[in-house]
């Protein structure tokens, strides 16, 4: 199969893509674009696609508030959240060499939830709500560092990382439940909506802020991404070819935390996207990390876009959290993976 290779920075970084990858990625890009446009058209007030296009391109100003203020930032937020969760899941699955790994399963999302609910319960009346994303990201970082430190024993093995992550995730979820029980009704309601996962009332300021947070791990993924493919072959082999395995594991774990924590900060506990998207991508293209990351981001964006579209249109006038629908799809998918890999 024909391959295209692109080299940057005096051949220090090279990316290789196949014709199959270009075709599959193009199809998913069209799918994301179609659902994105449908999201701008659909709602309590249906707007024809032609008028949506004219509004976005500035040819008319009839639907400015509905399209540009309400629906467009919400659709953009869905794309960013889905992409971040998908790539975060891909990193974890490659890092720990476990097909069942994802940010919400090994505890990173639980840490972000604990940070956010703690902020809502004790700091919302004192500190501005604009600092909620920072609390969620901090919780995710705290959880990841705690998992990494407890897992350390002359290095970190994948199986130990997963098992300790699952255990700490259960503890953090118990802490969240305890705070919800002890909190006032209004605080509990707000926290439950956040925990379920929703991008309701997303604004342009939140979209812009989230983009800046997501830009932080990208340089690390570009520079170290090629080494992640080697790491999947085993720790002994990686050391033999000169890769500093523990350093790379830590860097990629922090990148996954940053992506998953940022997504959780702005959209709450949208689960299973980080589990499903990498698996779908791996069934469609080769295992090279850069190509997989791009395709996984598109698939994650599609999943959250379609979940949010169904959540806010099928049950009108209710606006159901998108996390309900990702969980409805993801839970059976997780059980399928458990059955498939039961003997491994």
Model pLDDT for residues 196-252, shown as the tens digit of each residue: 777 887 888 889 988 988 898 888 887 777 666 666 655 665 555 556 667 777 888
What is the DSSP secondary structure assignment for residue 127, as one 8-state letter? S
pLDDT tens digits, residue range 16-59? Answer: 667 788 889 999 999 999 999 999 998 888 888 888 888 888 78
- Cα-flanking dihedrals φ and ψ of residue 305, to 5°? -60, -50
Q: How confident is the model at residue 155 (pLDDT cuts 50, 70, 90)?
A: low
**pTM beyond cutoff 0.85:** yes
Rounded-to-integer distance, Cα 114 and Cα 107, Å? 10
Rounded-to-integer distance, Cα 138 and Cα 133, Å? 8
Domain ranges of the chain: 3-340
pLDDT at 103: 82
pLDDT at 83: 95
pLDDT at 227: 67
Q: Which distant-in-sequence residues (6+ apart) come within 8 Å of 98 by Cβ?
A: 158, 159, 162
What is the DSSP secondary structure assignment for residue 129, as one 8-state letter? G
What is the DSSP secondary structure assignment for residue 131, as one 8-state letter? G
pLDDT tens digits, residue range 62-86? Answer: 888 888 888 899 999 999 999 999 9
Q: Which distant-in-sequence residues (6+ apart) come within 8 Å of 261 by Cβ?
A: 108, 111, 112, 136, 137, 138, 139, 140, 141
Average pLDDT over residues 79-103: 85
Looking at every residue in the chain, the average pLDDT score rounds to 80
Average pLDDT over residues 313-322: 82
pLDDT tens digits, residue range 248-271? Answer: 778 888 888 889 888 888 887 788
Q: Which class does domain 3-340 fall in?
A: mainly alpha
């Amino acid at each position: 199969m024909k391959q295209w290779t692109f080299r940057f920075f005096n051949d220090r970084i090279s990316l290789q893509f196949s014709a199959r990858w270009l075709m599959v990625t193009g199809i998913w890009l069209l799918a994301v674009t179609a659902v994105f446009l449908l999201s701008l058209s659909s709602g309590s007030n249906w707007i024809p696609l032609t008028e949506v296009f004219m509004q976005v391109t500035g040819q008319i100003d009839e639907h400015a508030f509905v399209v540009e203020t309400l629906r467009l930032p919400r659709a953009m937020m869905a794309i960013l959240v889905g992409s971040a969760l998908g790539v975060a899941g891909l990193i974890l699955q490659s890092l720990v060499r476990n097909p069942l790994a994802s940010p919400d399963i090994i505890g990173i999302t639980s840490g972000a939830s604990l940070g956010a609910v703690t902020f809502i319960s004790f700091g919302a009346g004192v500190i501005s709500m604009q600092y909620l994303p920072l609390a969620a990201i901090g919780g995710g970082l705290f959880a990841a560092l705690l998992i990494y430190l407890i897992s350390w024993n002359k290095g970190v093995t994948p199986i130990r990382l997963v098992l300790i992550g699952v255990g700490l995730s259960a503890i953090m979820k118990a802490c969240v439940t305890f705070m919800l029980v002890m909190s006032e009704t209004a605080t509990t309601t707000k926290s439950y909506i956040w925990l379920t996962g929703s991008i309701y009332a997303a604004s342009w300021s939140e979209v812009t802020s989230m983009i800046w947070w997501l830009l932080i791990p990208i340089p690390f993924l570009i520079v170290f991404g090629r080494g992640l493919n080697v790491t999947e072959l085993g720790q002994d082999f990686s050391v033999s070819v000169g890769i500093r395995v523990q350093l790379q594991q830590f860097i990629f774990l922090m990148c996954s935390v940053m992506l998953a924590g940022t997504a959780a900060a702005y959209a709450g506990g949208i689960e299973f996207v980080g589990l499903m998207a990498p698996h779908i991508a791996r069934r469609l293209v080769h295992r090279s990390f850069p190509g997989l990351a791009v395709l996984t981001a598109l698939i994650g964006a599609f999943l959250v876009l379609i979940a949010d579209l169904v959540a806010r249109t099928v049950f009108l006038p209710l606006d159901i959290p998108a996390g309900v629908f990702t969980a409805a799809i993801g839970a059976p998918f997780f059980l399928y993976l458990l059955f498939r890999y039961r003997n491994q």
